[in-house]
Amino acid sequence: MKPGFYTIMAAQFLSSLADNALLIAAIALLREAQSADWLIPFLKLVFVVSYVMLAPFVGAFADSIPKGRVMFLTNAIKLVGCILLLGMLPPLMAYALVGFGAAAYSPAKYGILTELLPPDRLVAANGWIEGTTVASIILGTVLGGVLISPHVAPWLLSFDLPFIDTHIDTPAEAAVVVTIGIYALAALFNLRIPDTGARYPGRTSNPFTLLRIFWHCNLTLWRDPLGQIALAVTTLFWGAGASLQFLVLKWAEHQLDMRLDQATRLQGVVALGVALGAVLAASWVPLRRSLRVLPLGVAMGFAIMLMTIVHNEAMAMLVLLVIGILSGFFVVPMNALLQHRGYVVMSAGNSIAVQNFNENLNILVMLSFYALMLWLDLPINTVAVLFGLAVAGVMLMVIIWHRRNQRRFDSEVHIGEDPRHGNIPTPH
C-alpha cells in the first residue's frame, strides 16, 4: 500500500471513533432528559437526513478540491456540531449538524481510495479500511459507554478549570467533551493526507445541473448489472446495520437487564465480528469473485432471529459475533465492487454520493419502521424476528435478481476492467 493510505486510515479511524462515542453520549443526553424510547432512533434519522439531501452536491464538492482538504473541512463541521451539543442546541439539532459534516466527509474518504490505488488493490484496501473503521466503531461505542459509566463519569466531572464554570455537569456532557478532543486529533491527520493529483476539470457548480447529473448517475448505476446488485446489498447492509445498532441496545435492556453503558459492549461485539469478517474477506475474496458471498446475507438474517432464544450475556456475545462476521464478510467485497463499477462508469466522488444517497435513504426507511414498532409497543423479540426475516428475504431476492441477470448476459466478465478516465455520464 502507498504511504498515504495509512494516513487516510488513521484520519478515518479517529473521526469514526468520535462519531460512535458521540452517538452513545447523545443517547445518554436524551435519557437524562427522560425522552421517550421511540425518540432515540431519531438521533440516527436526523444524522442521515443530510446524506440524502446533500447527495447530489457532495460528490461534486469532493471532486472539486483535493480530498484531504475536503476531509479536514468537513471534520471541522462535525467538531462544531459536537460543541453545540453542550447545551447550546437541542441534542437532535446539534447531532443533525454533525451528520451534515459526515455527509460531506464520506465521498472524499472513500473516493480517494480509487484515486490512490489500482483496481486490484481495492478489495484489500476496503478490507483494511472497513476493518479499522469497524475497530473504531467497537472502541468508539465501548468508549462512549465507559465515559458515561458510574466508574468513569464522576472522575471526568471532577476536572474543572480554575475560576471558570464550564457548565459540564452530567456524564453525557463529559463524554461530549472527550469526543471534541478526538475530532481535533482527527483534523491533524486530515492535514497530512497527500494530494493524489486527480482532477476533474470542466465540472459544473450549477445546483440544477448537479441535480440532473446526480439523478442520471443514480440511474446509470442502478441500470448497470453489476452496480445494481452491489448497490442493493450495501444499501440493505447499512439500513440493517443502523437499525441493529439501536435494536441491540433495546434488546439488551429488556432481554438481559443491562444498563446503557453495559449494552454498548454488545454493540462492540457486533462491530468486532464485522471487523473479523472484513479482514477475512480482504484476504480470501478477490474482486472477480466478490459476488460469491451473497448467500451469507441470507444467513445473517436468520442469525438475527437467534437473538430471541438468548437469555445470558455469553450466548448473546456469541450470536452477535456471528452476525457481525457474516455481515463483514459479505459487505466488503460488495463495497469494493460498487466502488469499482462506480469509478468505471462515472467519477469517484459522484459514485460514492450515489451510494450514500441510496444507503442512507434506506437507513431513514428502516429506522422509521423500527421507531414505529417501538411506538406500537411491539415486544422486542417480535421486532428482532421481523427484522431478521426482512434481511433474509431481501438478500434472497437479490440472489435471484443476479442469477436472472447472468442468464441474460455474463456481466461478471467486466469486473476489473479499466475506468473511463473518471468521466461522468451526461444527462439527456
DSSP per-residue letters across 362-406: HHHHHHHHHHHHHHTT--HHHHHHHHHHHHHHHHHHHHHHHHHHH
Q: What is the DSSP letter of 152?
A: T
Q: Amino acid identity, residue 328?
A: G
Alpha-carbon span 96 to 52, nearest angstrom:
12
For residue 139, what is the enclosing H or E element? Answer: helix 122-147
For residue 222, what is the enclosing H or E element? Answer: helix 207-223
User: How many CB atoms are closer than 10 A to CB 358?
Assistant: 24
Alpha-carbon span 373 to 133, nearest angstrom:
30
Which own/partner contact pairs does 207-210 have at CB distance under 8 Å and 24+ positions apart? 207/56, 207/57, 210/56, 210/57, 210/60
Residues 6+ apart with CB under 8 A from 301: 388, 389, 390, 391, 392, 393, 395
Q: CA-CA distances (angstroms) from residue 263 to 22, 182, 316, 323?
A: 16, 23, 11, 16
Alpha-carbon span 132 to 41, nearest angstrom:
25
Alpha-carbon span 200 to 93, nearest angstrom:
34
Under DSSP, is residue 78 helix (H, G, I), strand (E, B) or coil?
A: helix
The model's pTM is 0.73
Residue predicted with more confidence, 299 or 242: 299
Render pLDDT for 163-178 as a digit per residue (tens, 0 to 9): 555 577 788 888 888 9
Cα-trace Rg, the chain: 21
Question: Smallest Cα–Cα separation from 98: which of 33, 15, 171?
Answer: 15
Confidence at 322, pLDDT banded by 50, 70, 90: very high
Question: Smallest Cα–Cα separation from 14: which of 176, 132, 172, 144?
Answer: 132
Burial 151-170 (b: 16+ CB within 10 A, else e): ebbeebbeeeeeeeeeebeb
Alpha-carbon span 45 to 51, nearest angstrom:
10
Going 251 to 257 to 261 to 263, the CA torsion angle's sign is negative
Alpha-carbon span 195 to 112, nearest angstrom:
9
What local confidence, expressed as pLDDT, does residue 428 receive? 41
User: How many CB atoms are closer than 10 A to CB 208?
Assistant: 9
- Are 56 and 424 in contact by the 8 Å Cβ rule? The answer is no
- Are 240 and 364 in contact by the 8 Å Cβ rule? The answer is no
Confidence at 197, pLDDT banded by 50, 70, 90: low
Confidence at 202, pLDDT banded by 50, 70, 90: low
- The single residue listed with the C-alpha cell 465521498 is 107
Residue predicted with more confidence, 331 or 400: 400
Mean pLDDT calculated for residue range 21-33:
87
Render pLDDT for 376-392 as a digit per residue (tens, 0 to 9): 888 888 999 998 999 99
Per-residue cell: 114: 480509487
pLDDT at 4 over 60: yes
Render pLDDT for 332-368 as a digit per residue (tens, 0 to 9): 888 878 877 777 777 666 677 788 788 888 888 888 8
Most confident of 73-87, 96-110, 258-272, 411-425: 73-87
Any idea which fold 3-414 has? Answer: Growth Hormone; Chain: A; (1.20.1250)
- The single residue listed with the C-alpha cell 469473485 is 289
- The rounded mean pLDDT for the chain is 80
Q: Where are the domains of the chain?
A: 3-414
Mean pLDDT calculated for residue range 310-316:
88
**Most distant pair of Cα atoms in the chain: their distance:** 74
Alpha-carbon span 233 to 338, nearest angstrom:
10
Residue predicted with more confidence, 381 or 159: 381
Per-residue cell: 90: 437541542
pLDDT at 56 over 70: yes
